[in-house]
Chain A
């Protein structure tokens, strides 16, 4: 188990190294950071000066090593635009992004898994067909369409009819006011949850159907256990393993920034910062957010693999 962990972490570190190399090439070799730092009113003298200050006059390998050195010390650099450290940009964005991702995850699990189970326990029934339709519609809906519809119906229509239940945008810290926090996040949560729940319903259905076909389920039924016990105690347990795998990776991906949803609902999260940085040509912030997002994905993959090993004894052997 420990060796497995060590190997997994080593590979994760390798992935991060490759990601850092790719973004370095993208931002320092393929593009011109000096002129983007310089801004619109740039003179050649100023640009040369900037190159010296930023260390851009050194060779690329040396630049990369120094970049890597900073990374290893947890320093993601400084914004070109407002001279704030990228670390603090991400730190300030993380609460909103994390609240959004985790809350949405709870919601989509609550929606997706029951729908999947219902569909799987009666395959080819009307319930199953409805669940399939729900899943297909969910998969077909882009998040910004769902978000726009929710904004239109639940914020705009309700508000114009005198029921300002949902605010259109903004983020309130959970420590400042938990109730306002939830109220501001409800629409974003639903936006994310609705499109993701579809995939979970499908996955749960498929994996549940497979598990219910196993011999031990037949044995459990033959023993005379109630159908409820068979499904929830014997079936669900192993059927949820792939769901947990997907959940881990999804949360990892979302923690790196949910650009569309944050943008739509004006949540100052990591994704929003990244998007603004792209529009402002603020390369260090873009680069930092990409690295952080990749880090979350790699971390989630490691956690999922470990969880999987714990849940599924068969993996542990190999």
Chain B
């Protein structure tokens, strides 16, 4: 730049601002919303998820409408055949019955509650722990970071199902044990992601600017770092919910999750795996479909959200 340029542009501040203000820009959130609106697949996935959530919330109402209950056995002809074999889809039981003559549809509807409760709650707990540990590790670096990172490594060294098995062996299976076990194994992934993001953000000038203004560490974490983590965390949580739903179903499938007769998709599939899949295709197909469609919807939505929020971040899944 040449010095002659400096006086060359007379500049009253406000007119300059008006001139520069001609730039029309959109906030990241607006941009993301525009992208997601154009993404038909993600929208469909979101609608499906909404549907499942509504069904879960209003499960008693829905079951009342279809006139079925998830736990009562149909002792008539429509429940079990004379040989004690479940009856296939009929106008009495739209999706057939299970090994003791209960309505598969009603059980599916109630099962969605367990799946969503565990999926969402475990993810929420994982987020809280992961954010706190990741922020501390990334922000303070040095010894704190080494200690916390090693701690995360140790957690990841526990074999998931086997440790879950042993915890359940000691405590006995229940909904809360499932949530705690799943949370315990999931938070360190979020912790690692948060830590990585914070590490790269810590050296950005806006953090330095906040510090030069006299902002304390907590304030910087809360006001400057956390808002920038929202995007990746939304994406990652959306992808983590299906993982947790599958984990819950797996525990139930192995008889280590929510105990029967409570209906869960995993319990139903376990019943099917007990040989019933040979005679009652509906008892395998419908729970499997419910589980797969729900997890697929979350994964599709998460994938779309990632593209919308950060078109260049192909790494979130890869780090899983």
Q: Which residues of B sit under 8 angstroms from A182, Cβ to Cβ?
A: none
Question: Is B190 an interface residue, CB under 8 A from the partner?
Answer: no
Question: Is A110 an interface residue, CB under 8 A from the partner?
Answer: no
Which residues, 231 to 282 on A, are CB-close (under 8 Å) to B? 242, 253, 256-257, 259-260, 263-264, 271, 274-275, 277-279, 281
Question: Is A141 an interface residue, CB under 8 A from the partner?
Answer: yes
Q: Kindly specify which of B15-23, B24-32, B121-129, B154-162 makes contact with the partner chain.
A: B154-162
In whole angstroms, how far apart are the Cα atoms of A297 and B273 in the complex? 29
CB-based contact B169/A294 at 8 Å: no
Total interface residues on B, CB under 8 Å, equals 46
CB-based contact B314/A209 at 8 Å: yes
CB-based contact B158/A278 at 8 Å: no
CB-based contact B315/A259 at 8 Å: no
CB-based contact B254/A142 at 8 Å: no
In whole angstroms, how far apart are the Cα atoms of A257 and B159 in the complex? 9
Q: Quick one: closest A residue to B255, CB to CB?
A: A279
CB-based contact B303/A294 at 8 Å: no
Which of A18, A148, A210, A264 has the largest count of B CB atoms less than 10 A from its CB?
A: A148
Q: Which residues of B sit under 8 angstroms from A140, Cβ to Cβ?
A: 242, 246, 292, 295-296, 298-299
Question: Is B281 an interface residue, CB under 8 A from the partner?
Answer: yes
Question: Is A191 an interface residue, CB under 8 A from the partner?
Answer: no
Known contacts A145-B269, A145-B288, A278-B256; is A206 also within 8 Å of B314 by CB? yes
CB-based contact A27/B170 at 8 Å: yes
Question: Is B141 an interface residue, CB under 8 A from the partner?
Answer: no
Query: How many contacts A-B (CB < 8 Å)?
Result: 142
Q: Which residues of A sit under 8 angstroms from B278, Cβ to Cβ?
A: 152, 156
CB-based contact B288/A149 at 8 Å: yes
Q: Quick one: closest B residue to A17, CB to CB?
A: B154
Interface size class of A (residues with CB under 8 A): 35 or more
Which residues, 247 to 264 on B, are CB-close (under 8 Å) to A? 249-250, 253-256
Which residues, 283 to 312 on B, are CB-close (under 8 Å) to A? 284, 288, 291-292, 295-296, 298-300, 303
B284 in complex: contacting residue of A19, A152, A260, A286, CB < 8 Å: A152
CB-based contact A259/B273 at 8 Å: no
Question: Is A315 an interface residue, CB under 8 A from the partner?
Answer: no
B162 in complex: contacting residue of A15, A137, A143, A293, CB < 8 Å: A293
CB-based contact A136/B303 at 8 Å: yes
Known contacts A27-B166, A31-B170, A144-B269; is A260 also within 8 Å of B157 by CB? no
How far does the Cβ of A195 sit from chain B's closest Cβ, in whole Å? Answer: 10
Question: Is A105 an interface residue, CB under 8 A from the partner?
Answer: no
Could you list 26 examples of A-B contacts with CB < 8 Å?
A23-B166, A26-B166, A136-B303, A139-B242, A140-B246, A140-B292, A140-B295, A140-B296, A142-B249, A142-B253, A142-B291, A144-B249, A144-B253, A144-B269, A144-B273, A148-B277, A149-B284, A152-B277, A202-B318, A253-B159, A259-B162, A263-B254, A271-B162, A286-B165, A294-B157, A297-B159
Known contacts A140-B299, A283-B169; 17 further A-B pairs (Cβ under 8 A): A139-B242, A139-B299, A141-B292, A143-B250, A145-B288, A145-B291, A149-B284, A156-B277, A202-B317, A259-B254, A260-B254, A277-B169, A278-B256, A286-B169, A287-B166, A294-B159, A301-B157
